[in-house]
Chain A
Amino acid sequence: MTEVIVWSGWVGGLAVGAYALFQFAMSGKHLGVSTGFGNFCSYISKLSFFHKGDYEQPNNWRLWFIIGLPLGGLLAALTSPGEIALSFSLGAMYDQVLPQALWAKGAILLIGGVMIGYGARVAGGCTSGHAIAGLSLLNWPSLLAAAGFFAGGIVAVQLLFGF
């Protein structure tokens, strides 16, 4: 697994917060990622939901933003001292509790992903849109959502790691 450089939490937080402000001041767009997954649905689906509102014109900033994210990951890996290692490993802790077989591990990640995608749309945003952008705006529904994210995360990890 690729080992990347990690800054202290507060330095990382400063950078994330500064980035979100930079994006907002530049473009007027609040930070947000999960809505962008629907842009891809818009290209392959005729469902009305993916052709109105946010998705009326799917070739928008959100599409380009989420295309940039993996490239940012590649850049981060290239500028870290270790080699880039293509791997299905999830690191020491998760590999210990998740099944070894790739299909079974993949199934858990897939189901986790479905919950992330579905839950984000039901909640109206994800960690970026609710927790970072929403809290910056002192938006109380976003605080509730952030609390719900953490509550769910605690339950999932406590279940996985068996209390």
Chain B
Amino acid sequence: MKKYIFLFFGILFGFILSRAGATTYDFYAKLFLFEDLQLLWVIATAAAVGMIGVAVLKNLKARSILDGQPLSFEGKPYTKSLIVGSLIFGLGWGFASACPGTALVMLGEGKLGALFTIIGIGLGTYLFGMRESRGHGA
């Protein structure tokens, strides 16, 4: 089953995030104080590699290797709340010096502060679900 392969994909991505420095708290402080742009380089290089790769896959009209389905190149849509949401996320990113992926990887490295962050991310997700469920009359 395809979904179980993602356990290994998660291990691989977690390992790479750690080696990229994304689980090292100091890099977050240094990034946002403009002292060391390690993580900016990581994101910029990753995005550049991704842009080239996506352009190639698009050109080849590639299908997914595991199930042969056509690849979708559609991005996430713009919403009215996108900017506010991204600012809230960014504040949390700076305060907790982690993002959703790296908090989980940090925990695996024995950085126990990530436990609080992970519980917080779950709570924040739940709060959004509460708002949405109420908004749609559930």
The reply to whether B26 and A2 contact each other, CB–CB distance below 8 Å, is: no
Inter-chain contacts of B67 with A (CB < 8 A): 27-28
Interface residues of B (CB under 8 A from A): 2-26, 28-33, 37-51, 53-54, 57, 62, 64-67, 69-79, 81-101, 103-114, 116-130, 132-133, 136, 138
CB-based nearest A residue for B78: A141
Bound-complex Cα distance A11 to B129 (A): 37
Which chain B residues border A148 with CB–CB below 8 Å?
Answer: 82-83, 85-87, 89-90
B18 contacts A4, C-beta separation under 8 Å: yes
Chain A residues touching B, range: 35 or more
CA distance A122 to B57 in the complex (A): 30
Pair B104/A66 contact, Cβ less than 8 Å: yes
- Among B32, B37, B42, B50, which residue has the most Cβ atoms of chain A within 10 A? B50
| 11 sample A-B contacts, Cβ–Cβ < 8 Å, listed by A number | A6-B38, A25-B62, A48-B138, A49-B133, A49-B136, A87-B111, A93-B29, A113-B103, A117-B127, A122-B85, A136-B46
Which secondary structure dominates chain A's binding surface? Answer: helix
Whole-angstrom distance between the Cβ of A109 and the nearest chain B Cβ: 4
Known: A67-B10, A92-B26, A122-B84. A84 touches B109 (CB 8 A): yes
| Residues on A facing B (Cβ under 8 Å) | 1-2, 4-10, 12-21, 23-28, 31, 33-34, 36-38, 40-41, 45, 47-50, 59-77, 84-94, 105-142, 144-158, 160-161
In the complex, the answer to whether B95 meets A28 with C-beta atoms within 8 Å is no
B113's contact among A27, A105, A139, by CB below 8 Å, is which?
A105
Which residues of A lie under 8 Å from residue B44 when comparing CB positions?
A: 13
Q: Do residues B110 and A77 form an inter-chain contact, with CB atoms below 8 A?
A: yes
Q: Which residues of B contact A33 (CB under 8 A)?
A: 99-101, 104
When chains A and B are docked, how far (Å) is the Cα of A138 from the Cα of B29?
28
